[in-house]
Amino acid sequence: MQLAKRLKASAQLFYYRYELTTALYMLEFWEKCIFNVLVVLGFVLCLYTSINYMPEAVNEWARNAADYFPTLASALNTSLGIISPPIAMKVDL
């Protein structure tokens, strides 16, 4: 029970600091909701983009690093392609 109270108190403190930092304390409730929805949407889009495109970028970085560090090329040749995006999507245009 003590842990739940501490978590609740720290969450309230975090939200209080968030409101003070972003000056949300002077907005009305519906304006706060719109702003918070936009912030959460931005975080969700960043997370989605990271999950989908980061594996491809890491593979590309590894291939480029192999060009500059030839001793790593043999190690990377066996490990390239292991990282794959978790969501496979096909788009037909």
pLDDT in tens, 15-47: 999 999 999 999 999 999 999 999 999 999 999
Separation in Å, CA 58 to CA 47, 82, 84? 16, 11, 10
- Share above pLDDT 90 across residues of the chain, in percent, rounded to a whole number: 48
